[in-house]
Amino acid sequence: MRDVAALAGVGLKTVSRVVNDEPNVSSETKERVERAIDALGFEPNHGAGSLRRVGGRTQTIGLILDAVDNPFSAAGASMPGEVGANVQKIFAYGIRNSFGMAVDPKSGSLWVQVNGDDTFDEIERIDAGENSGWVQIIGPAGRIAEFKGIETTLGGQNLQQLRWPPTNLADTPQDALSRLFMLPGAHYSDPAFSWRYAVAPGGIGFLSGRALGPQYDGDLFVGAARTTLEGGYLFHFNITGNRQKIGVDDARLDDRVADNNAKFDITESESLLFGRNFGVGTDVQTGPNGNLYVVSLDRGVIYEVFKK
């Protein structure tokens, strides 16, 4: 409003009179103010203006917040410079290596796939402010001993880098949880599903609609990043009615962990197998006709999955 007054060469009160269509303003002055309003793109805030006119009491509490959808807005604001600005952009962290991300069409929740090194690939529903645990934890926190046990004995006995060997991992869930770097506003949660030994999931996507039958509406499909298991599997997951968790049919998956016996072993994932020989599935989408489409990177094709 000050800028409008300056440009029009009038006082604030005059601008206010024009904005509120009050008398005692010459048509020439009114026109000048209106031109300045147009030039500056000024939009009067009548709510704010009314505060003064009703004697300062509206029975309304004003609250000034920045970026309420950002879980680390306050944490970032307390840190200097670019560090703070970047922290304010974080939605979730502690996520190791993800090739797949999808939004649940029924709930709006974000789901991701996480690749471990040799152990505990994950499927996760990611909330604002989540710390998924890497490097201290992957898979359920209660399985920390298996994570450490396998990574310290299998293959290169490392976590695909040399700075931080798996011998550094905690020995108990409590110790692992206490070591997590928690920004103010962060929380840890276990994955919705994981595999004890890596099966290298790839692209993920939800089927939206009943084109494949009502039983598949809203279900999650997971492609493979490697062709070792079933020539590139397509796994299928039911989501629970409240859209928060994965539903299972196999009692061995009640713990939401496929306890397979080696990398790329199907043990405990048999009930999830929906298709095979999709190659490296980098994307899974519902098409305009409601069918399921899978992008195969190594085959250079897009597969359409439809009901016969």
Binding site for Ca ion (CB under 5 A): 117-118, 132-133, 151, 191, 252, 255, 257, 259
Closest to Ca ion by CB, 229 vs 258, is 258
Closest to Ca ion by CB, 127 vs 259, is 259
Closest to Ca ion by CB, 146 vs 255, is 255
Q: Which residue number is nearest to Ca ion in terms of Cβ?
A: 132
- Separation of alpha carbons 124 and 85, rounded Å: 26
Q: How far is the CB of 54 from Ca ion (least distance, A)?
A: 53
Rg of the chain on CA atoms, in Å:
28
Q: Tell me if 15 sits within 8 A of 5, measured CB to CB.
A: yes
CB-count burial class (<10 Å; 0-12, 13-18, 19+) for 294 = buried
Q: 27-40 and 12-19 are packed helices; what angle lies between their axes, rounded to 10 degrees?
A: 90
Q: How far is the CB of 271 from Ca ion (least distance, A)?
A: 11
Q: Tell me if 93 sits within 8 A of 125, measured CB to CB.
A: no
235 strand-pairing partners = 222, 273
Closest to Ca ion by CB, 217 vs 259, is 259
Q: How far is the CB of 132 from Ca ion (least distance, A)?
A: 4
Give the residue carrying structure tokens 């009067």.
Answer: 44
Q: How far is the CB of 257 from Ca ion (least distance, A)?
A: 4
Q: How far is the CB of 235 from Ca ion (least distance, A)?
A: 15
Q: How far is the CB of 267 from Ca ion (least distance, A)?
A: 9
Q: How far is the CB of 175 from Ca ion (least distance, A)?
A: 16
Q: How far is the CB of 260 from Ca ion (least distance, A)?
A: 9
Closest to Ca ion by CB, 73 vs 271, is 271
Closest to Ca ion by CB, 117 vs 219, is 117
Region class of 165: left (phi > 0), else alpha (psi between -120 and 50), else beta: beta
The full DSSP string for 129-191 is TEE--TTT--S-GGGHHHHHHHHTTSTTSSSSSSSS-GGGS-SSHHHHHHTS---TT-EE---
Q: Of 235, 238, 244, 216, whose CA–CA distance to 278 is shortest? A: 235
Cβ contacts of residue 103 below 8 Å, gap of 6+? 109, 110, 111, 206
Closest to Ca ion by CB, 159 vs 239, is 159
Give the residue carrying structure tokens 């505060």.
Answer: 51
Closest to Ca ion by CB, 22 vs 270, is 270
Q: How many other CB atoms sit within 10 Å of the CB of residue 34?
A: 14
Closest to Ca ion by CB, 97 vs 282, is 97
Q: Tell me if 234 sits within 8 A of 219, measured CB to CB.
A: no
- Separation of alpha carbons 207 and 219, rounded Å: 6
Q: How far is the CB of 237 from Ca ion (least distance, A)?
A: 15
